Structure 1
């Protein structure tokens, strides 16, 4: 090859590379939505449009959401997905023999507004008013409680006689950890810490610590519950993470959503009959969340409970939910509350 040809090829190569973004076939296309709408409900028909700047050939078009192809419906596509939240809608097609993929975020909200619930108090029991309650859980007839730390006090997990408040056993956390939610599965007690990005595993019978685990993509440790197979972990965001109880790896996440917005304030958790009951952070209320879709199906107004507690300077917000299967009732308390309430829930008329 002579020097002139070599020079010409190099100039063309440099020019091609400098325009690489423009030569990328995907750069000639864009994904947009009819009337700019990007907020939907499950089973809505959507009408995405491929913007074709160069009028290039386009074939084999399909749309996927969370890896599943959406069924076509005339000019549109059906959002055949129960999972709520913000997700990538992906367009897949071919142009001039090349595979093209485009993605845009859409928001999928709950199909119905949440139902409103209120409560009836069945019983009131004594509760340690020095306990900065973060997690409650019944195992058989024993109440387990996890607390946060502050004011020089350590976090701990303990076993309690719920009728008297008597402490059976207690295991303290190291001073650097702020204890959070707990749950019990297969005689193992799992406990989160807030910002330590580590959780602990105990023998539920002895409270002997037997293991620990690191968080994955989740930001912090807030609430914890289980459905008999997986653990569910809230982290202060709109996500509730599903953890494998053996490896403690985060397998996937659901996103919490009402019919109007994505929600990010789920705190302490309890799992009952396919639903996650979640304290709303800093509020006297509780959400009832579908554990599969993330839909907020109910909101429980727990207002009035705090006023029934002995008032003192360190009295803090409502936090802590435990369901007693034998009694078919919920037990709730708060941070530095003197009282543990046994309640039932019912729809507001």
Structure 2
């Protein structure tokens, strides 16, 4: 194990524990750890086990998933500006959640919102398969993803425009900003299994992504089935991004920023960038979620807003370097 991976693992573990222990309640570290591990009577064990622990687990899973899928998309498309939302699944998941809020289903049934978001992600996958076709190339895939994203964005705007209830519209806007607050172990159980399956699928593409760095013709000569590789990758990305959006809302830039930051440290091999980006994404999202609790906690700063504030300037920097012909 390289020093970079040891550092990233230590950083993720430290941030995970900090995420569990940091909160608005002024409770000592020892008392918090005792309530978390031993339980007991009173509100503190409930806070630690039912509120803080699920939030930290989702921060770890969602951050790792977004970092992993960002590295996978960049490796497949051989473009450092690619990101997980490119295939449109996250937009369709958000549309499903918006519909659940607007129709009142989210109030009638506790899990209606994440379930509707997962249904929207499934519709997005179906549309992607139908539009890109079984043998469509990377350009067709990108165009299909852009079309699906545009359609999902238009649907979300239409729901907001026609919403007769200002409270529902306000709730939709806040949900779209992304957050891990008020999540439970039920959300963890809902999101984690498909995300683990998606990560396993992406892990099987590591050798193919390494071969693709030499070009599609060279990869085919090395025995890589381009069609199988593409659909394993797309299925893995969809299984991660859909549930992540379902439980955390729209959180951008993690899958774009993290692979870019870690690429110089792992070389040009996507197979090494995949696990590094998963760890880096988990560390970034855990740190951002801690920050939203510390920075103006009384104003409920949204997680997606903070990641956008951090990620947008770096994204502009990437565009500028590409325009001026520099290496990214």
Larger radius of gyration: 1
Under TM normalisation by the shorter chain, which class is it? under 0.3
Which protein is richer in strand relative to its size? 1
Name the structure where helix makes up a greater proportion of residues. 2
- In the superposition, the TM-score normalised over structure 2's length comes to 0.24
